[in-house]
Amino acid sequence: MSLVIENGWPRSAAWTGGERGELRLGGIGVRELAAEFGTPVYVLDEEEFLARCALWREALPDGEVHYGGKAFLCPEVVRWLDSAGLCLDVCTGGELAVAVAGGMDPARVVFHGNNKSAAELRRAVALGVGCVVVDSFTEIERLTTLAEEAGIRQRVMIRVTPGVSAHTHEFIATGGDDSKFGFSLNAGLAAEAVRRVLAAPALELAGLHSHIGSQITDLGGFALAARRMSAFLLDSEREHGVTIPKLDLGGGLGIVHRPGDPVPPSPAEVVAALREAVPARVRLAVEPGRSIAGPTTVALYEVGTVKDIPGVGRYVSVDGGMSDNPRPAMYGAAYTAVVASRASQAPPREATVVGRHCESGDVLVRDLPLPADVRPGDLLAVPASGAYQRSMASNYNHVTRPPVIAVRDGSARVIVRRETEDDLLRLYT
């Protein structure tokens, strides 16, 4: 029995085996995966990842698809992106280092960030990074100096905040005038940024950029941002007598995390809405991250305790928590989970799935109907775990971070190994 992909599962996810059934991912049962690799563990469906890359590439054959590396990045993923014909967005020197380690041509890397250090920019210039997205007047001056010292002309895009509400959580909304990112269009700062870049001989204005937020499930905000950015591009060209060849309208397309969540538009629908507003001669770029990585991965946990509190409810504790998925604690991200290691005929009973950390807020899933006979040793599977979870994972309480296992056609391999206590101790003097 296949699980419903609209509920955030990769296409290979299926329930097999009848009464002694289990969830299978990439053709491998979760009991086997847990026995070999331990828990917690992120199980990434390689074919699902590549299929989602292909959907974006097919939706925009005449433009550029830049994978948002902050969603999840490791050298093997960089190699997948390269093979799929995608470019890569990075926003720190560390992400740039991973891109280089994975073999990505720096000319296909776009470097973001609202506070890039001089050292990060110097390295980007030296490596030949294809484009730097400038985010402040200070950065324009800093990058101009570094490009002059290197004797090159650095291609840049100007990040513009178009004053568009993305109707998402305030922590992941980035397009409003009060955003820490970019130059405000409404306040006239974006127009001044264009003037300063054009006045800098060591910089080449390759395009304009905007990004309105994350986990967006309707086209309205995308379309409005595209119209405002297109109008600003045309106004800038008329004012300065130049041609601005590219408009990067960012990413932010949401995914389904649990049953009942709104199903977002497809990549083709997003691109069509953007294309309607963008002049045909302008090269369009997009930056999907979550919509590629998110549904590819299932997090597996082992149940350690089940605690019933009269008048309160049931707590099901697992061997991970906010160190491998801080998103519920940070901004209320909602997930679902299933008992994945066995079938159960028991009626559902509402439970709260909690982690092992010394925080009352260490909650992974609230108000979740689980089989009433859930017990220690059961494996819980949490879909839609591919974006931001491993990227944001920490060593809180000195817990080691889980591995990432790629599955495909009945085989599994480690692409990010599990941390050990030796890894933690190695940092101390």
Question: Do both 118 and 257 map to the same domain?
Answer: yes
> C-alpha angle 26/28/33, rounded to 5°?
115
> Where residue 392 sits, what CATH number does that domain have?
2.40.37.10
Would you state the pLDDT for residue 19? 67
Which residue among 232, 253, 288 closes a domain?
288
Mean pLDDT, the chain cut into blocks of 10 residues (429 residues total): 61 84 95 98 98 98 97 98 98 98 98 97 98 98 98 98 65 56 93 98 98 88 93 98 97 92 93 95 97 97 98 97 96 94 95 97 96 98 97 97 98 98 96
Question: Do both 283 and 182 map to the same domain?
Answer: yes
Is 401 part of a structural domain of the chain?
A: yes
pTM, rounded to two decimals? 0.94
Question: Do both 231 and 303 map to the same domain?
Answer: no
Overall size of the chain counted in residues: 429
Give binding residues for pyridoxal 5'-phosphate as ranges.
252, 287-290, 388
CA 54 to chain centre: 17
Would you state the pLDDT for residue 175? 43
> Where residue 125 sits, what CATH number does that domain have?
3.20.20.10
Which residue among 255, 288, 321 closes a domain?
288
Kindly state the tokens that stand for 18. 């009848």
Is 308 part of a structural domain of the chain?
A: yes
Is 89 part of a structural domain of the chain?
A: no
Question: Do both 399 and 265 map to the same domain?
Answer: no
Question: Do both 398 and 320 map to the same domain?
Answer: yes
Active-site annotation holds for 358: yes
Question: Do both 247 and 157 map to the same domain?
Answer: yes
Give binding residues for substrate as ranges.
290, 327, 331, 359, 388
Would you state the pLDDT for residue 164? 82
Would you state the pLDDT for residue 177? 63
Q: Is 190 helix (H, G, I), strand (E, B) or coil?
A: helix
Question: Do both 125 and 273 map to the same domain?
Answer: yes
Q: Which domain holds residue 33?
A: 5-45+295-425
What is the tally of structural domains in the chain?
2
Is 59 part of a structural domain of the chain?
A: no
Kindly state the tokens that stand for 130. 């294809």
Question: Do both 249 and 281 map to the same domain?
Answer: yes
Residue for token pair 């085989």: 411
Question: Do both 143 and 264 map to the same domain?
Answer: yes
Question: Do both 204 and 282 map to the same domain?
Answer: yes
Is 81 part of a structural domain of the chain?
A: no
**Number of other CB atoms surrounding residue 217 within 10 Å:** 17
Would you state the pLDDT for residue 165? 67
Whether residue 372 contacts residue 329, with contact meaning beta carbons closer than 8 Å, is answered with no
Catalytic residue among 53, 87, 91, 358: 358
Question: Do both 275 and 342 map to the same domain?
Answer: no
Is 93 part of a structural domain of the chain?
A: no
Which residue among 266, 288, 310 closes a domain?
288
